[in-house]
Amino acid sequence: MANSEADEGKFFKGLKLKIMRLIFLGAPGTGKGTQAALVSKKYGIPHISTGNMLRDAVKKGTELGKKAKKYMDAGELVPDSVMIELVKERLVQDDCKNGFILDGFPRTIQQAEVLDSYLEKNLMPITSVVLLDVDTDFVVRRLTSRRLCRKCGRDYNLLTDPPQADGTCKICGGEIYRRDDDSEYTIMNRLQVYQNQTNPLLEYYEKQQKVNRVDGNRTIQEVQTQIAQIISE
């Protein structure tokens, strides 16, 4: 086993397997997707990223994708009605029976209320909300440095995980590009939208005593440690 895999494993070693229905919250670029993927791998529960689901719909040119693209390109939130139906369809799939991780949803109070109502009706209440706190300057640097492979979709970051020296993908040799919504102007708009529309979710879930804060400015392994402690408790 590679050292990185061994390091990841020790953070989760000994934790009891249980049904976990988690929500990962945080501004764009906080690393919540990375952490959610790690938890998904260790516990065998699906990582449901609404951002990835929407980008896939855009790439395929579906009706949902066409509706969502104009909002995503402007750094605005996709309407609640679209997001709610998308998530509901996903949560009824068999792999969600033992738990799931929601990444990027809910983002508004309305979404949270509809989600809670739906999950409680189906006896699937949320068990914990993990909030990744990261400084704004750090988020902007991280997102403006983000790149994607046009062929296989592999994520890169010019600061922490760059592609090959010739600007191609390490995996498939595909072309590397920057997403339209990763420009500095769009990122700042996304962060403002997050502050205005998503932060109230903290009060909503804090009233339910489900919010657990994690310092996202730390290394990936240090953040893993904090999340593992939350899950074990």
Same domain, 75 and 44: yes
**Residue 230 included in any domain:** no
Q: Which amino acid is at 4?
A: S
The domain boundary residue, chosen from 68, 94, 127: 127
Average pLDDT, the chain: 86
β-bridge partners, 200: none
Of 61 and 208, the structure prediction assigns the larger pLDDT to: 208
Of 7 and 182, the structure prediction assigns the larger pLDDT to: 182
Chain position carrying tokens 């690393």 = 31
CA distance linking residue 60 with residue 97, whole number of Å: 28
Task: Give the model confidence (pLDDT) of 89-112 as tens digits.
Answer: 788 889 999 999 999 899 889 899
The domain boundary residue, chosen from 127, 155, 189: 127
Task: Give the model confidence (pLDDT) of 69-79 as tens digits.
Answer: 888 788 787 88
Could you say which of 21, 42, 55, 107 is catalytic? 107
Same domain, 91 and 140: no
Could you give the angle at the alpha carbon of 193 between the alpha carbons of 129 and 125, nearest 5°?
A: 20
**Residue 25 included in any domain:** no
Same domain, 41 and 117: yes
**Residue 14 pLDDT > 50:** no
For residue 44, count other CB atoms closer than 10 A to its CB: 10
Q: Which amino acid is at 148?
A: L
Same domain, 106 and 44: yes
CA distance linking residue 179 with residue 172, whole number of Å: 19
**Residue 224 pLDDT > 50:** yes
The HSE-up count of residue 93 (CA atoms within 13 Å, CB side) is 12
End-to-end CA distance of the chain: 28
CA distance linking residue 46 with residue 37, whole number of Å: 8
H or E element, residue 212: strand 211-215
Query: Which range of residues forms the domain containing residue 52?
Result: 31-127
**Residue 183 included in any domain:** yes
DSSP per-residue letters across 8-32: HHHHHTTPPP--EEEEEE--TTSSH
What is the predicted pLDDT for the residue at 207? 95
Of 56 and 161, the structure prediction assigns the larger pLDDT to: 161
**Residue 211 included in any domain:** no
Task: Give the model confidence (pLDDT) of 149-166 as tens digits.
Answer: 999 999 999 988 899 999
Chain position carrying tokens 């006896």 = 123
Could you say which of 154, 179, 210, 218 is catalytic? 179
How many domains, the chain?
2
**Residue 232 included in any domain:** no
**Residue 205 included in any domain:** no
**Residue 168 pLDDT > 50:** yes
CA distance linking residue 150 with residue 168, whole number of Å: 10
Active-site residue flag, 179: yes
Same domain, 68 and 148: no
Q: With contact defined as beta carbons under 8 Å apart, do 1 and 211 qualify? A: no
Active-site residue flag, 146: yes
Of 20 and 52, the structure prediction assigns the larger pLDDT to: 20
Active-site residue flag, 107: yes
Same domain, 97 and 146: no
**Residue 99 included in any domain:** yes
Same domain, 90 and 151: no
Could you say which of 42, 55, 142, 146 is catalytic? 146
Count the residues in the chain.
Answer: 233
Could you say which of 32, 42, 69, 147 is catalytic? 32
Report the CATH number that the domain containing residue 54 is assigned in CATH: 3.40.50.300
**Residue 9 pLDDT > 50:** no
If pLDDT is split at 50, 70 and 90, which confidence band does 10 have?
Answer: very low
CA distance linking residue 227 with residue 126, whole number of Å: 16
**Residue 21 pLDDT > 90:** yes
β-bridge partners, 215: 133
Cα 8 to Cα 98, 108, 214, 221, 228, distances in angstroms: 22, 32, 17, 7, 10
